[in-house]
């Protein structure tokens, strides 16, 4: 069977984006591995970014690679077990990305908050429990998505197959039963909770940055006025990541609803859906690397000496 040219073009495009995203995410993970190898102590924010980057890598692998192989003409490269595993990992990494971004926003809001005794205690406790919290979150999402594999099968090519949404390489069962609705409500509840906390933390950070900017204006020296503190730079990076994440997450959720409700989903919709889903994991590391470039430069001579 001849493969349509638009499918091949989309496959090449996704492959280039996936390669770029994997290289960028892998460089951040390699950076943290070097830090651990050289005996450096990772800060709490670095631990969150490490988990976020690892989730990004798994997300690109589980969502982008199967779609790319399907567009390039590979058929039946996944059986039922492979589809169940891919979809399961995809759901887990989606939840972990959301949780990591929520944790990163809340932690950064606490870090740049006013230094009184109450906030100092909260900063100490937050820094202490960041690592265990990220590890426990992986286990929570493993159990939350435990029923996803039961709703996944290999590709279904029958046109009269009802209640099955085809992704080309796998199929997902779509049902409106009470159990399914309650289960989806439970998953949506955690998503809404994380998004609400992210919104509150972002508003708090924007307010603190605005107050700081007004205070800096009173300093007459241009030299000090142009200097941006590491906390402010990190906060601006977190806010930029949040904007990219919310845009990608919102469009992905809208397309999920449209695909589920559509009786005849078109192929371009699947491709657009895949690209929007992996948009954040691909471009997130470039924002982080821009903020970490001074650390990369400082690390190279240290690693060379060692």
220 pLDDT above the threshold of 90: no
Q: What is the mean pLDDT of residues 286-297?
A: 68
Identify the pLDDT of residue 15: 87
Residue-wise burial string across 127-161, b where 16 or more C-beta atoms lie within 10 A, e elsewhere: beebeebbeebbeebeebbeebbebbbbbeeeeee
**Does residue 135 belong to any structural domain of this protein?**
yes
> What's the average model confidence in pLDDT over 263-287?
73
CB of 191 closer than 8 Å to CB of 199: no
Residue 237 belongs to domain with CATH number: 1.20.1070.10
Task: Please check whether residue 236 lies inside any domain of the structure.
Answer: yes
pLDDT over 90 (residue 177) = no
pLDDT at 122 over 80: no
On the 0-12 / 13-18 / 19+ scale of CB atoms within 10 A, 34 is middle
Tell me whether residue 220 is in a domain. Answer: no
Q: Which domain holds residue 161?
A: 5-214+227-305
Distance between CA atoms of residues 120 and 181, nearest Å? 42
Cβ count near 41 (within 10 Å): 7
Residues 6+ apart with CB under 8 A from 113: 119, 123, 204, 208
Mean pLDDT for the stretch of residues 259-283: 68
Least confident of 17-26, 79-88, 193-202, 230-239: 230-239
Q: What is the pLDDT of residue 139?
A: 93
Better pLDDT: 241 or 222:
241
User: Over 50: is that where the pLDDT of 167 sits?
Assistant: yes
pTM attached to this predicted model: 0.82
In a domain? residue 170: yes
Q: How confident is the model at residue 276 (pLDDT cuts 50, 70, 90)?
A: confident
pLDDT for 221 beyond 60: no
User: Per the structure, how many domains does the chain have?
Assistant: 1
Task: Give burial (CB, 10 Å; 0-12/13-18/19+) of 20.
Answer: middle
Question: Is pLDDT at 287 greater than 80 in this prediction?
Answer: yes
Q: Does residue 109 carry a pLDDT above 80? A: yes
Whether 278 maps to a domain, the answer reads: yes
Assess contact for 281 and 56: CB atoms under 8 A.
Answer: yes
Residue 74 lies in a domain: yes
Q: What pLDDT is recorded for position 302?
A: 42
Task: Tell me: pLDDT of 160 over 80.
Answer: no
Q: What pLDDT, in 10s, does the model give residues 26-74? A: 999 998 888 888 888 888 888 999 999 999 999 999 888 888 888 787 7
Any domain includes 258: yes
Query: Has residue 222 been placed in a domain?
Result: no
């Amino acid at each position: 069977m001849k493969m349509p040219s638009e499918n091949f073009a989309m496959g090449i495009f996704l492959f280039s984006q996936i390669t770029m995203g994997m290289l960028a995410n892998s460089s951040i993970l390699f950076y943290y591995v070097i830090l651990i190898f050289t005996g450096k102590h990772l800060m709490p924010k670095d631990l969150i970014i490490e988990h976020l980057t690892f989730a990004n890598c798994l997300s690109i692998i589980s969502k982008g690679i199967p779609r790319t192989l399907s567009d390039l003409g590979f058929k039946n490269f996944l059986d039922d077990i492979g589809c169940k595993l891919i979809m399961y990992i995809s759901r887990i990494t989606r939840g972990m990305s959301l949780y990591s971004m929520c944790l990163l926003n809340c932690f950064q809001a606490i870090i740049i908050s006013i230094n009184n005794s109450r906030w100092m205690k909260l900063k100490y406790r937050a820094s202490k429990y960041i690592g265990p919290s990220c590890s426990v979150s992986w286990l929570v999402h493993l159990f939350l998505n435990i029923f996803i594999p039961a709703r996944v099968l290999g590709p279904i090519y029958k046109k009269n197959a009802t209640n099955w949404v085809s992704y080309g390489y796998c199929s997902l069962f779509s049902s409106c039963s009470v159990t399914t609705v309650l289960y989806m409500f439970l998953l949506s509840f955690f998503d809404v909770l994380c998004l609400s906390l992210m919104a509150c933390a972002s508003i708090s950070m924007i307010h603190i940055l605005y107050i700081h900017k007004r205070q800096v204006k009173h300093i007459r020296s241009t030299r000090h006025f142009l200097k941006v503190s590491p906390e402010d730079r990190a906060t601006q990076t977190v806010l930029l990541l949040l904007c990219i994440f919310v845009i990608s997450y919102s469009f992905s959720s809208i397309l999920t609803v449209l695909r589920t409700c559509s009786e005849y989903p078109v192929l371009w919709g699947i491709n657009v859906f895949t690209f929007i889903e992996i948009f954040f994991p691909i471009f997130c590391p470039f924002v982080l690397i821009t903020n970490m470039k001074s650390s990369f430069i400082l690390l190279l001579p240290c690693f060379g000496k060692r």
